[in-house]
Amino acid sequence: MLNLSFLQMKQQEEPSEGNLTELREFVLLGFADIPHLQWFLFGLFLVIYIIILMGNGTIFLITKLDATLQTPMYYFLANFSFLEICYVSVTIPRMLVNLGTQRRRISLVACATQMYFVLMLGGTECFLLAVMAYDRYVAICDPLHYSLVMNQKMCMKLVAGSWISGIPVQIGQTFQIFSLSFCRSNHINHFFCDIPPILKLACGDTFVNEMLVYIVAMLFVMGPFLLILCSYTKIMCTIFKLPSTTNRAKAFSTCSSHLMVVVLFYGSGMITYLTPKTSHSSGNGKMLSLFYTIVTPMFNPMIYSLRNKDVIMALRKFLGK
């Protein structure tokens, strides 16, 4: 009965073939294929959203208020936590509305706006992770010049560059995606407006568009990833040269949290954007997207706080007050 109502909803919302090139709205199917779990998913994602807001908000506050955390590493962590709050706020509220009301329609402008912010904030996250890796590289490989290299002015420039650099490129990429004609359907088999599921709806040959997506992904995903890889290669070489086992363990512990976040975020992101469109299945695409848009932001505060004594001490003082 539930599956029958889902098919009826799809048939009612499916536009006629002649009007498909004049689309003014899409339908975000999300998790409509499991109608009996809609309210369970609503509750689950609402709890996750609250956890993300509270966790990253707490990290942001304590790194700003605690005097012992006024260092470049925690300045970058504060920006990263604020970024995660922005990132999830682009996708989860819309998904909660869709789950709660079962009204899955989204206008073309709203869809393009959501895609732009997801891409822009995702690119910012890639650059910020690279900046944090560079900070650890300087701290471990060149500690004597750390305060000179990572001064306040340099930190502000690196953060501003991470936030601003992707704006013009992602505006252009969003425009070229939504300048296509859509003649297959207006149903996006996803829980937010992402590039791979929208390209599947486009008319004709999308080879040029896919190549542009790959080029931008190489620039914003592989570029920072290679910088992170180079930084950690040099960091590991330096750590293994340290004479004391205690010093090696301490140096590695300052990097391990960041490495865990990099693996979670980059692993799912690269599979999503750097694999051919034909190899994507809708189910796998949604699961991978859940990792880099929801799971990673949820675990970031836990990863950084549970493995960091300074953050735990600052958190205890903050909760004590």
pLDDT tens column, 210-250: 899 889 988 888 889 999 999 999 998 988 888 877 777 77
**Residue 4 domain-assigned?**
no
Q: Please give the full DSSP string across 111-149, using - where no structure is assigned.
A: HHHHHHHHHHHHHHHHHHHHHHHHHHHHHHH-GGGHHHH
**Residue 7 domain-assigned?**
no
**Residue 8 domain-assigned?**
no
| CA 282 – CA 188 distance, rounded (Å) | 10
CATH code assigned at 173: 1.20.1070.10
Residue-wise pLDDT tens digits, 244-289: 777 777 777 778 888 888 888 887 777 776 666 555 556 677 887 8
Average pLDDT over residues 193-219: 88
Four-residue CA torsion sign, 101, 282, 220, 27? negative
| Chain mean position to CA 318 | 28
Q: How many domains does the chain have?
A: 1
**Residue 259 domain-assigned?**
yes
Residue-wise pLDDT tens digits, 20-44: 445 778 999 988 888 898 999 999 9
Average pLDDT over residues 53-62: 93
pLDDT of residue 280: 53
Count CB neighbours of 144 within 10 A: 7
